[in-house]
Structure 1
Amino acid sequence: MRGDRCWSVEKRSWIALLLGVATGLAATTARAADCPGHPDALGTSRVLVVDPREHPRIGAMQYKETLPLHDHEVVLTFDDGPLPKYSNQVLQILADQCVKATFFTIGHQAQANPEGVRKLAAAGHTIGTHSQTHPLTFNKMTLEQARPEVDQGIASVKAALGNNASALSPFFRVPGLLRAEAVEGYVGSLGVQMWSADFLADDWRNISSAKVYELAIKRLEARHKGILLLHDIHERTVLALPKILHELKARGYRIVQVVPATANRPATPTEPQDWLVHRPSDNVPVAQWPDIPSFDFTGATTHLSLTSTDVSLLSSGPTTTRRAARETAWPPVTSPASRQTAAALPVPAADLFEIQAPIPRLLARHDALPAQPLRRAAKAARRPVRVASLRKR
């Protein structure tokens, strides 16, 4: 009996183990099928659907909101293309790793290389716009100057896409990240999402490809997730990109593709705090004080100065609890009826804001104190001291 029971338990354990192995093999096979010929590819882990009107400006470098990414998730973005010499190489590198990215295309480049724009759409990448001529003066432009740059850039990319104009996403990145209220307001009025970035690799600078790789990984590791800004028009970027993708996979990072919400494709469910660059934490105290309570002081007696009776009481010997309660109760207890019938708060005394003379140090109750000095001290305590007399001193 015991042997049969042990065999039954062992059999169930082996079945569970085999099912787990089968599931893992199926997942690996699926990933390999997603990227034929590259079983060790980085791949694209998920697609994030966003609504530009709900979150019109994103990017931790300049805005309070950024994409709601999970830990170790990365969104790759490329600006300034297409430039066939380098853009085609970038597309091939991404294809070899089955990675999807977002390309912010310049209108003038799209006019010169419409086939490059169509290649982006055919490869399934997300396409946004990056102005018509890439002026580095958006931060100084008026609305009248910014509007044609935005509109013509969108029109040029749509024209390059031809019959597939719907492949253009309502995403815009201002050249040089030189944001300004004029362009931000106009882009938002079009229902287009303004993109900044979470970190850079400085690949537009005259640095080596090794430096581009180093900065990309270093800055990503500092944030553990985010939007990386690169350019598909530089040789240094082409040389650094394979190493960046390899290192992302080695360190457990996952690629996320971002697409806009449509009538048939609802936005990915998120919480408002998921978009915040600085999210509130239960481990960090928040200085949010409760509202000031409403106290009813109607009928209360305000003691503006120390009287001779108070001095006598404090300097006298020990008193019984009943006597102390009777003589020092403040404020007096009022009945609910009297509080309800009170018309208004008592008018402050005329000398309320006068500077009072310092109150003499009171003696302990058990100390002896002659009656005459007490009366003089009490009289001095009641006498107001004028500001003018203080200035003379």
Structure 2
Amino acid sequence: MPSLSRLAALLIAASCALPLAAGASRAAASCEGKLGTSRVMEVDPRGLQVGTKHFPQTLDLAEGEVVLTFDDGPFPATTPAALKALREACVQATFFVVGRNSAAHPDLLRRIIKEGHTVGHHSQTHPMTLADLPYDKAVADIEKGIASDEKAAYGTAGAHPRVPFFRFPGFGSSPELLDYMKTRGIGVFGADLWAGDWVQMTPEVQLHLVMERLAHAKRGIILFHDTRAQTVKMLPAFFAALQAGGYKVVHIVPAATATAAGPQ
């Protein structure tokens, strides 16, 4: 028989666990019948260069698996609606954010993280392109962007980004900049297909275009922009189309053992 003090402790622990279990149960119930996140993929960023629109290889995805990514935010006019659509579909995405936007909207950046999404980096000023800048200025823009994102999200920025994922604006890299990212241990993401949402179109036309491209590619990293109203308006129908088509959403996170190197 446990002692009275031990029994009391067990009862208290059980009573504290009940609300947590109930909360988890309610969360699971609220996602019943939704698209959901099929699995979480831990990605080692060291030497990583993926996305067949820019590189020869991509992530190890099965047929029908997609990774959702959003560029250029956070942006108060549209990012909250994107987050709402993601939350209602119970899926997670990766946001490649611009440093000056992170610095301007830290609360929104922290909300993205709080809601379970991955935050990667997309330079400080989003030049088109980094490859067109002198090498030292391009590196400075990359590093300033990472520092801005880190400070906005976590309050401090050190030598090692918490999430060592990066996407070059406009996929405008160079061999020298790619080598630099390798030395930093920061993985570089391209995309396997994109919405083309930098071109003005209706949400309906954009949905048709994305699903047509996905039917051809069958899997891959999809590039959207959470700064585009047409994309945000399309998302609920897009998630419904993914579910109807039997597609699965994969959420990417950095491998727990990976540590980026300090700036060179």
TM-score range, shorter chain: 0.7 to 0.9
**Secondary structure class of the residue paired with 2:92:** coil
Matching of residues 30-179 of structure 1 within 5 Å: 34-53=27-46, 55-163=47-155, 168-179=162-173
Amino acid of the residue matched to residue 147 of structure 1? V
CA–CA distance in structure 1, aligned partners of residues 112 and 99 of structure 2:
14
- Please say if residues 72 and 96 of structure 2, whose CA atoms lie closer than 8 Å, have aligned partners that are also in contact: yes
Q: 1:213 and 1:35, CA in 2 relative to 1: closer, same or farther beyond 3 A?
A: farther
TM-score by length of 1: 0.57
SS in 2 for 1:124: coil
| Match in the other structure for 1:378 | none
Q: Which digits, 9 at most, give the CA deviation of each residue in 1:250-285, with x for residues without a partner?
A: 0100000011112399xxxxxxxxxxxxxxxxxxxx
Out of 229, 250, 254, the residue aligned to residue 260 of structure 1 is 254
Equivalent in the alignment of 2:202: 208
Query: 1:203 is paired with a residue of what secondary structure?
Result: coil
Q: CA separation in 1, counterparts of 2:210 and 2:192?
A: 11
**Aligned counterparts of 2:81 and 2:188: Cα–Cα separation in 1:** 27
Deviation (angstroms), 1:63: 0.6
Identity %, equivalent residues: 38
Post-superposition shift, 1:182? Answer: 2.5
The structure, 1 or 2, with the larger RCO (C-alpha pairs under 8 Å, 6+ apart) is 2
Q: Does 1:184 align with 2:178?
A: yes
Instruction: Report the residue type matching 2:45 in the other structure.
Output: P
Q: Is contact 1:101-1:257 (8 Å) kept?
A: yes
CA distance in 1 between counterparts of 2:152 and 2:183 reads: 24
Question: 1:13-24, aligned counterparts within 5 Å?
Answer: none
**Which structure features the higher share of strand residues?**
2
Q: CA separation in 2, counterparts of 1:230 and 1:138?
A: 20
For structure 1, the 5+ residue unaligned runs are 1-30, 266-393
For residues 154 and 40 of structure 2, the distance between their equivalents in structure 1, rounded to whole angstroms, comes to 25
- Contact 2:44–2:258 under 8 Å retained in 1: no
Match of 1:225 in 2: 219
Query: Structure 1 pair 44/155, CA: closer, same or farther in 2 (3 Å)?
Result: same
1:249 to 233, 243, 246: 243
Q: How many residues align?
A: 234
1:38: Cα distance to partner? 4.0
CA-CA distance at 1:187 after TM superposition:
1.6
Alpha-carbon deviation of 1:168?
3.9
Within a 5 Å distance, the mapping from 1:327-366 to structure 2 comes to none
Larger Rg: 1 or 2?
1
Unaligned runs of 5+ in 2: 1-23, 260-264
* 1:239 paired to 2:233: yes
What secondary structure, in the 3-state scheme, does the structure 2 residue paired with 1:63 have? coil
Contact 2:194 2:222 in 1 (8 A): yes
- SS in structure 1 of the partner of residue 128 of structure 2: coil
- Contact (CA 8 Å) 1:82, 1:233: kept in 2 or not? yes
Question: Hey, what's the Cα distance between the residues in 1 that align with 2:204 and 2:25?
Answer: 30
Paired AA for residue 191 in structure 1: G
Contact 1:78 1:101 in 2 (8 A): yes
Distance 1:254 1:230, change over 3 A: same
